[in-house]
Amino acid sequence: MGSLSSSAFGPVKPSSFAVLLVLLLSCSSFSSTEAYDALDPTGNITIKWDIMSWTPDGYVAVVTMYNFQRRDIQAPGWTLGWTWAKKEVIWSMMGAQTTEQGDCSKFKGNIPHSCKKDPTVVDLLPGTPYNQQIANCCKGGVINSWFKDPGNAASSFQVSVGAAGTTNKTVRVPRNFTLKAPGPGYTCGPAKIVRPSKFVTANKRRVSQALMTWNVICTYSQLLAQKTPSSCVSDANQEDAP
Ligand SMILES: *[C@@H]1O[C@H](CO)[C@@H](O)[C@H](O)[C@H]1NC(C)=O
Ligand SMILES: *[C@@H]1O[C@H](CO)[C@@H](O)[C@H](O)[C@H]1NC(C)=O
Ligand SMILES: *[C@@H]1O[C@H](CO)[C@@H](O)[C@H](O)[C@H]1NC(C)=O
């Protein structure tokens, strides 16, 4: 290792070395920055995964995203991804769809909706046929802010998962959740098993509950969304910036 003052690029002035150092330090701090939105420090998007029934080879879940941010999630809306823990597949979905089916060639007869290890899900558009809808779906991924319009602050889809655990002891939570809402800048924490959600019927005469529930919390950071210097990381998502 040569000394600083005799590098191949000639003498390095202390001032330019300082600039380089600051740049390097800021690069490394970007990659370790916790998602944090200075304009909305407590804002978050909470994803709730409610298992509604077990099936012979998996389960049916309703996944609901709540926009606990001050601002709306505008068109083109949310995009949610995750990585399955094992070899799970999606037999079918209502109220949303995966963007790619992936390789389902080992299946005969019934072909899953998606066989991808890391599916990417988007909302369906308004005007979707009723038999493909569930409550709170099909708004093109738009979710209003809980603080402005609580009645329209959720977006849901139903997913039927196969090749999965069939009890609350054998089911595996998906990993590495990713969210664009609509652009980059979101960081999602791990899925955490929480107390099962309760559902009150419209006439308030009966309360049912999920068989099992896990939550994922995603938060937004302007730093991640806008200021990630291209000289530090090559961000494949950058062209999606709003
Ligand atoms: C998410 O936001 C909601 C509503 O402001 C808040 O009640 C909840 O504590 C927040 N969750 C986290 C983990 O920050
Ligand atoms: C799993 O189900 C059993 C009873 O069916 C219950 O006692 C237990 O708390 C559940 N565990 C989780 C993690 O939900
Ligand atoms: C999740 O992401 C981390 C870091 O990007 C990676 O090391 C890990 O292998 C991923 N896990 C899965 C199950 O894909």
Enumerate the domain spans of the chain: 45-225
For ligand 1, whether the C-beta of 46 sits within 6 Å is yes
C-beta separation of 60 from 160 below 8 A: yes
Q: Among the atoms of ligand 2, which is closest to the Cα of residue 193?
A: 13
| Residue 106 bridge partners (DSSP) | none
Q: Coil, strand, or helix at residue 52?
A: strand
pTM: 0.80
H or E segment and range at residue 27? helix 14-31
Q: Among the atoms of ligand 1, which is closest to the Cα of residue 146?
A: 4
Find the 122 Cα to ligand 3 centroid distance in Å.
22
Query: What pLDDT sits at residue 224?
Result: 82
Find the 209 Cα to ligand 2 centroid distance in Å.
13
- Please report, in tens digits, the pLDDT of each residue of the chain (242 residues total): 444 444 444 444 445 444 444 444 444 444 434 556 777 888 999 999 999 999 999 999 999 999 999 999 999 999 999 999 999 999 999 999 999 999 999 999 999 999 999 999 999 999 999 999 999 999 999 999 999 999 999 999 999 999 999 999 999 999 999 999 999 999 999 999 999 999 998 899 999 999 999 999 999 988 787 765 544 444 444 444 34
Find the 200 Cα to ligand 2 centroid distance in Å.
21
Find the 71 Cα to ligand 1 centroid distance in Å.
14
Residue 59 has phi, psi (to 5 degrees) of -160, 165
Q: Coil, strand, or helix at residue 139?
A: coil
C-beta separation of 64 from 154 below 8 A: yes
45-225 classified as CATH 2.60.40.1760: no
Tell which one of 176, 187, 235 to mutate to probe ligand 3, the residue whose CB is within 8 A of the most ligand atoms: 176
- Taken as a whole, the chain contains a residue count of 242
Of 180, 189, 188, nearest to 120 by C-alpha is 180
For ligand 1, whether the C-beta of 145 sits within 6 Å is no
Query: What pLDDT sits at residue 9?
Result: 44
C-beta separation of 67 from 73 below 8 A: yes
Query: What pLDDT sits at residue 238?
Result: 41
Running DSSP on this structure, what letter comes out for residue 160?
E
